[in-house]
Amino acid sequence: MARISTKATSVFLLFLILGISNFTNGQTNESPFSDFGYPEQSVIYGPRAGTVFYFKHKPRRDYENSYVHLEIIPSQLIEKKQSTITFLVGDRPILSTFIGQYSDTIRVDLPLKRSDMASGFVKLEVKSNLFLRDEDCRDYDETGIWLEITPESFLLENFISYPKELPTWTIEEFLPEVERILIPKESLANQLEVASYLHYFFRERIGVNLPVEYLDKSNVKLIHRALVIGSGTEIQKAFSEEKSFGNTAGQGEIKMHYTSQTDSLTATPFFTSSMLLTGPDVSSIEKAIQFLFNSDLTSSALTDHVKVNKSVEKTLQYNYTLKNTYNLEELGMDTEMMTEMGKIRKNLTLPSYLSKATLRSLQLQLKINHKPVSASESGFANIYINNDLIGTYRMNESGILQVQVSPNRVTFATGSYLGIEYIYVPAGGICNTNASEFYAQIDPLESFLSPVFYRNTPLTFASFPKNFEGSPIEIWYDYAVSPQEIPSISKLIQLINTRYSGQSGFYFPKINAVSTANQVADGNTNKVLLTASPENYNDIFKEDQYIRFYKDSISYKSDEVKRFFNVSYGDDLAFIQLFNHNGSKFMMVSNQARNTEAMEMALNGVQDQFLTNSGNVLISNPKRYFFFDLRFKTVLDEEMDSQNRFLSFWETYRLFIIVVVIAFIIVLLSYIFKKSESSKKNIEDAR
């Protein structure tokens, strides 16, 4: 009979008591602005420049005990005694102050109220009224006037402690509260596909990268703000109260689960909340996940228990369908009203799915509603593409500016943007302080963008996933995937879905385990291969792959030179390469060291690059990534560029060329006829 140490038992009980006691206390979280998708630091320019931040609402946030901490450094050229700064939360003025009341750094704490939340967000706005030292007239183009919002700014959130009464969550309300995904260890291999789909749902719809953990390592009684996925049998085994849950054939289920606990120190009761997603088999579980992706269904299901018998069938063929024309609202562009004096500008980023389709040019039609500009005033709108001035247009008393632009000599890439700049000078000049403020707004429904694409899509990361269209896409893996590696598979699904969702919807690739190396080469599908043993595929892919792996080294080749470089690496690196094999396209992701950070960084490289031609080989470590292009560049690229330039020229001027050729032929025939008649007459006269 095994002996149990009384000391070990005491320590365990102490940790359990303290753990349950802490479990009932509220939590505090300090989040920098970068956690909400903003740069680590923001700089605003101009005498009256401002900026706006939006913080997503969290149901458990204790607004009355939360606040925004701002640290702002002003330009040294500012006259601090005269300059002011104003802070608004949810359009509610919180503080207006002279900058001179602070030292070199402005430090303020702005309290929040629950009433500040609107449409799921809390809005923070910073406005300024800044003056230069000894200025006679305000220069609205002065770039020396600025305020820097430093990385030391943050949102401090206090969260409400665990409820002392039974919660009444609906499924839609609880989804943003989920902090981790739990899955039984025995079923991970069998349910890897649906677990990856579920993680992708939280990436795409909730905007969070959740950790994935084994259910077996958690104390079921203390599971809180987690989503548990598993078969009905596994769920019932872990949660004995949930009898007959998830047993109905062909039916997926989602249900809220609550447990009642007692604080061991205060004897105060409290409740924990979690969500269970289950079904008798994988296909039933997938039905429940597909239900979550339909926002109309989740928002209309005002309940804590849903049973799903049917769902949308997955599309096998991967299509990258694009429209001929979009309005700016469809493109998700921010066209809110802009107000200021002098010069103001806003950049609207083009969706990456346009540039990945090898965007050649675009036709732009804008309708801008603006303050009427009288004959005694001056008003202009400048249109930019990637900081290249495309056109300048004068505004008038009508208050409406219609613009049509067709730029041809612009290089487009991921991150390309449309720039709108307004310049307004009131009557009496820029120094007229009594003039009313200028305003302008692009009409998002009456403004249109028509993209024009190259016909060929190169096999580079910059064009992924457009270059994988036309066949089903599958993800294959040849190692036992751990819970910590599921976010990487989820990131791949996100990359594959970088396309116009309004036309195509979500694409869920099949995820398969590799049994034999030859299995990967079978079928008429394009594949993403996740491998920890890339050397096993050398005899299959042969010279098609650009990187060949051996036990202790790596060999590179290009389309111009055979194997030209052989090297051994000491660091844990991840490699991604794109190549063709037997009519299929492959993205081979090699991670021999199973380094999850290097893998995540490599996938970030595929997603975040801003180059027009990022190449077909990527190498990464946990901190950075590098691109290489090992294709046959000197011939292939020149041939493609020449072809594209000819096609562009022909499509633009073909009608004009045809008319000129016909006119030339008519003139030539007329000249020949007249010459013939003249010669004939000369011969007759000579006779």
Q: Is 209 part of a structural domain of the chain? A: yes
Q: What Rg do the C-alpha atoms of the chain give, in angstroms?
A: 32
- The CATH number that applies at residue 70 is 2.60.120.260
| 423 and 338, same domain (yes or no) | yes
The reply to whether 651 falls in a domain is no
Give the other-Cβ count within 10 Å of 511's Cβ.
Answer: 21
Residue among 581, 597, 578 at smallest CA distance from 589 = 578
Let me know whether 391 and 514 are in one domain: no
**Based on the structure, what is the number of domains in the chain?**
4
Q: Same structural domain for residues 469 and 437?
A: no
Same domain, 270 and 374: no
Total-model pTM: 0.77
What are 390's two structure tokens?
């495309």
- The domain boundary, picked from 158, 190, 205, lies at 158
Whether residues 512 and 445 share a domain: the answer is no
Render 314-381 in DSSP notation, one character per residue.
PP-B------S-EETTTTT-----EEESEEEEEEEEPPHHHHTTTEEEEEEEEEEEE----TTSEEEE
For residues 113 and 37, membership in a common domain is answered with yes
Say if 681 falls within a structural domain: no
* Claim to verify: residue 627 and residue 524 sit in the same structural domain: yes
Q: What pLDDT score was predicted for residue 7?
A: 43
In a domain, 118, yes or no: yes
Q: Which of 251, 282, 308 is the last residue of a domain?
A: 308
Among residues 60, 273, 18, 35, the alpha carbon closest in space to that of 158 is found at: 60
Residue 293: HSE in the Cβ half-sphere, 13 Å Cα cutoff: 22
User: How far apart are the C-alpha atoms of 499 and 348, rounded to whole Å?
Assistant: 18
pLDDT at 612: 53
- Considering the domain architecture, whether residues 149 and 68 belong to the same structural domain is answered as yes
Q: Which of 418, 453, 488 is where one domain is finished?
A: 453
CATH number of the domain to which 208 belongs: 3.30.379.10
**117 and 84 both lie in a single domain:** yes
Residues 93 and 183 in one domain: no
Residue 565 placed within a domain: yes
Give the contacts of 676 (CB within 8 A, at least 6 positions apart). Answer: none
Q: What is the DSSP string of 9-42?
A: HHHHHHHHHHHHHHHTS--EEEEEGGGGT--SSE
- Domain membership of residue 95 (yes or no) is yes
Do 467 and 609 belong to one domain? yes
Strands 388-394 and 473-477, bridge-based pairing: unpaired
Q: Is residue 350 part of a domain?
A: yes
> Could you give phi then psi for residue 488, rounded to 5 degrees?
-70, -40
Domain that holds residue 423: 326-453
Low-confidence ranges of the chain (pLDDT < 70): 1-26, 134-142, 433, 503-504, 558-570, 609-614, 632-653, 677, 679-687
CA pseudo-torsion sign 339, 340, 342, 348: negative
Whether the bond between 465 and the residue before it is cis, its omega within 30 degrees of 0, is yes
The answer to whether the beta carbons of residues 325 and 303 sit under 8 Å apart is: no
Asked whether residue 259 falls in the same domain as residue 355, the answer is: no
In a domain, 641, yes or no: no
